[in-house]
Amino acid sequence: MSIVRVHNFSVSLDGFGTGEGQSLDAPFGHAGHRHMEWFFETRTFRAMQGKTDGSMGVDDAYASMWGPGIGAEIMGRNKFAASRGPWESVGMDDEWRGWWGDNPPFHTPVFVLTHHPRPSIKMDGGTTFHFIDASPAEALAAAREAAAGGDVRIGGGVATVREFLAADLIDHMHVVVTPIVLGRGERLWDGLEDLDSRFTIEAVSSPRGVTHLTFARR
Amino acid sequence: MSIVRVHNFSVSLDGFGTGEGQSLDAPFGHAGHRHMEWFFETRTFRAMQGKTDGSMGVDDAYASMWGPGIGAEIMGRNKFAASRGPWESVGMDDEWRGWWGDNPPFHTPVFVLTHHPRPSIKMDGGTTFHFIDASPAEALAAAREAAAGGDVRIGGGVATVREFLAADLIDHMHVVVTPIVLGRGERLWDGLEDLDSRFTIEAVSSPRGVTHLTFARR
**What value does the mean pLDDT of chain B take?**
96
CA closest to B191 among chain A residues: A183
CATH 3.40.430.10 is held by the domain B4-217: yes
Question: Which residue in the set B181, B191, B192 is minimally distant from A196, CB to CB?
Answer: B181
Q: What is the pLDDT of residue B191?
A: 97
What is the per-residue pLDDT across B157-198, written as a single tens digit (0 to 9) for each?
999 999 999 999 999 999 999 999 999 999 999 999 999 999
Q: What is the pLDDT of residue B107?
A: 97
Among chain B, residues having any CB pair with chain A shorter than 8 Å are 13-15, 177, 179-184, 187, 189-196, 201-206, 209-211, 213
The 10s digit of each residue's pLDDT in B21-38 is 998 889 999 999 999 999
Residue A84, pLDDT score: 87
Predicted local confidence at residue B211, as pLDDT = 98
B129–chain A nearest CA distance, Å: 33
Residue of B nearest to A196 (CA): B180
Inter-chain contact A180–B196, Cβ cutoff 8 Å?
yes
3-state secondary structure B151-178: EEEEEECHHHHHHHHHCCCCCEEEEEEE
Q: What is the pLDDT of residue B93?
A: 77
* Residue A178 pLDDT level (bands cut at 50, 70, 90): very high
- Check CB contact under 8 Å for A203 and B213: no
Model confidence at B84, pLDDT cuts 50, 70, 90, reads: confident
| CA–CA gap between residue B26 and residue B32 (Å, rounded) | 7
**pLDDT at position A35, please?**
95
Contacts of A196 in chain B (CB under 8 A): 13, 179-181
Residue-wise pLDDT for B97-132, tens only, equals 999 999 999 999 999 999 999 999 999 999 999 999
Q: Are A181 and B193 in contact (CB under 8 A)?
A: yes
Alpha-carbon span B206 to B108, nearest angstrom = 30
Work out the pLDDT band at A105, boundaries 50, 70, 90: very high
**Alpha-carbon distance B98 to nearest alpha carbon in chain A (angstroms):** 30
Residues in chain B within 8 Å Cβ distance of A165: none
Contact call for B189 and A213, based on CB within 8 A? no
Query: What is the enclosing helix (H) or strand (E) of B18?
Result: strand B16-18
- What would the pLDDT profile of A67-89 be if each residue is shown by its tens digit? 999 999 999 999 999 888 899 88
The pLDDT, as a whole number, for residue B104 is: 96
Across the interface, whether the CB atoms of A193 and B209 are under 8 A apart is answered no
- pLDDT tens across B36-78, in order? 999 999 999 999 999 999 999 999 999 999 999 999 999 999 9
Closest Cβ opposite residue A181 in set B192, B202, B211: B192
* Higher per-residue pLDDT: A94 or A217: A217
**What's residue A117's pLDDT?**
94
- What number of other Cβ atoms are within 10 A of residue A89's Cβ? 11
Q: What pLDDT score was predicted for residue A153?
A: 98
Average pLDDT of chain A is 96
A36 exposure class (CB count in 10 Å sphere: 0-12, 13-18, 19+): middle
Does residue B83 carry a pLDDT above 90?
no
CA angle B2, B7, B8 (to 5 degrees): 170
Name residue A214's beta-bridge partners.
A174, A202
pTM: 0.94
Please indicate whether, in this complex, the C-beta atoms of B201 and A189 are within 8 angstroms of each other. no
Q: Provide, as residue numbers in chain B, all residues whose Cβ is less than 8 Å from the Cβ of A21.
A: none
For the residues A151-173, what does the mean pLDDT come to?
98
Interatomic CA distance for residues B35 and B187, integer angstroms: 13
The pLDDT of residue A91 is: 84
Beta-carbon contacts of residue A34 (< 8 Å; ≥ 6 apart): A178, A180, A182
ipTM above 0.85, yes or no: yes
pLDDT bin (cut points 50, 70, 90) of residue A65 is very high
pLDDT of residue B92: 85
**Taking chain A, what is the end-to-end CA distance rounded to the nearest angstrom?**
15
pLDDT at residue A93 above 80?
A: no
